[in-house]
Structure 1
Amino acid sequence: MIQRTDYSAGSTIVYVVDDDDSIRAALAMLFRSVGQRVELFASTQEFLDFERPDVPSCLILDVRLKGQSGLALQEQIIAADVELPIIFITAHGDIAMSVKAMKNGAFDFLAKPFRDQDMLDAIQSALLRNEAMRKSHSRTADILRRYQTLTPREQEVMKYVVCGLLNKQIAAEMGLSEITVKIHRGQAMRKMEARSLPELVLSANALGLHPREE
């Protein structure tokens, strides 16, 4: 396995997979000139064997490689449910390749030779997207963690609350007293760390919660 570099919190990484030594060297020089960390790979297998740190990142990927193609690696990344923005580069690109790559979710597609500034702009946008995605997933995971601390009855009350039902309506739906619903509602608000009904609704939306259908 390729040796892992230690990265501090807040760092970002650009991965480059290209079997052309000169292209890898040029991209490494370009990215490092602006203070960007970069990891270089001559094949898709080298990239797959690398233990990637859990930091915002993106992948510069040549379409045509010796052995496995860049498009095949993209399909593996998708199948593994890895959210990694991919910027394809190629000297032999055609419309069919670019269409397939973009349909599969490629972030960008640059033809060689490309302008340095175009590449720098592309990786900046890709890294920002990956960072935003990571933050969104982290928030959702935190909301789910809070939701799982609710009792089943508190969860059920919460689902009715976020749909706008009043305590007396929820009580009728669940066959409980209004005071009991009020207690469960208060507990759900506290455990979900929601200071208002709109905050509770936002949390429920993030989890895709809907009222139980009778």
Structure 2
Amino acid sequence: MSPSDLTVFVIDDDAAIRSSMERLIRSVGWRVESFASADAFLERLPVAGTCCLLLDVQLPGTTGVALQDLMCEQEWELPVVFLTGQGDVPTCAASMKKGAVDFLLKPVDDELLIGALRRGLERDVARREREAHRHGLQAHLDSLSPRERQVMDGVLCGRLNKQIASDMEISEKTVKVHRGRVMEKMGVRSVAELVSLCGADLVARASAAKRESAPAD
């Protein structure tokens, strides 16, 4: 990904700070948009592409803390770096607990700030990659028939073909046919690849469902 594909949104009511931050961020090659208030930024939404917020705590109208709270409530997973001249330990601790990348005090060292913003952008890149993976995985899962999904769940649980056949009350030959279609539709060649593609969460859900459907002793 090119640096020009990355955007930092600067939200600070001090025009001199905004101008200084814009010059610094552009010197790294990133795109930058600045706003004098959180409310102005909210009017600009939605945002597209990989980004990070450089956010002041004390702002007119909606404060930086209130904006972070709103983002948490709405599940907007935008990385936030706080930069403030009026920080305190409780505010810093609360913002970090809510997922802030860093909490910095003005005046700030340029390298320290760029490092924090870089971590924020890297976090957003990773989040978008996870989302793309989930969407791709869901498309694969949606292509499976109910029987194929049952067979796949059995495979993810480590069940042998004959065990899956017994669970589903079908022939082992039919299980092999379904299993082959599962591997083809999921785009994998081995059980190890299938487990890696589905991830620990889906494997755990398949195992839990298998336990719930098992007859009680």
- CA distance, structure 2, for counterparts of residue 172 and residue 34 of structure 1: 61
Q: CA deviation at 1:32?
A: 1.1
Partner of 1:68, secondary structure, is coil
Q: CA deviation at 1:205?
A: 2.3
**Between the two proteins, what is the percent identity of the paired residues?**
43
Partner of 2:5, secondary structure, is coil
Q: CA deviation at 1:204?
A: 2.7
Number of the residue aligned with 2:86? 92
Q: CA deviation at 1:81?
A: 1.1
Structure 1 residue runs without a partner (length 5+) = 1-7
- 8 Å CA contact 1:57–1:127 kept in 2: the answer is yes
The alignment's TM-score, normalised by the length of structure 1, stands at 0.92
Structure 1 residue aligned with 2:132, among 128, 138, 142?
Answer: 138
Q: How many residues align?
A: 207
Matches within 5 A, 1:25-40: 25-40=19-34
Number of the residue aligned with 1:166? 160
Q: Does 1:70 align with 2:56?
A: no
Structure 1 residue aligned with 2:151, among 129, 152, 157?
Answer: 157
Instruction: Please give the root-mean-square deviation of Cα atoms over the aligned residues, in Å.
Output: 1.6
Partner of 2:48, secondary structure, is coil
Partner of 1:100, secondary structure, is helix
Structure 2 residue aligned with 1:121, among 106, 115, 126?
Answer: 115
Higher helix share: 2
Give the direction of change, closer, same or farther, for the CA distance of 1:96–1:106 in structure 2 (3 Å limit).
same
- 8 Å CA contact 1:14–1:39 kept in 2: the answer is yes
Give the direction of change, closer, same or farther, for the CA distance of 1:9–1:63 in structure 2 (3 Å limit).
closer
Give the direction of change, closer, same or farther, for the CA distance of 1:9–1:65 in structure 2 (3 Å limit).
closer
Number of the residue aligned with 2:97? 103
| Paired letter, 2:74 | A
Number of the residue aligned with 2:76? 82
Structure 2 residue runs without a partner (length 5+) = none
- 8 Å CA contact 1:58–1:127 kept in 2: the answer is yes
- 8 Å CA contact 1:15–1:59 kept in 2: the answer is yes
Structure 2 residue aligned with 1:13, among 7, 18, 23?
Answer: 7
The alignment's TM-score, normalised by the length of structure 2, stands at 0.91
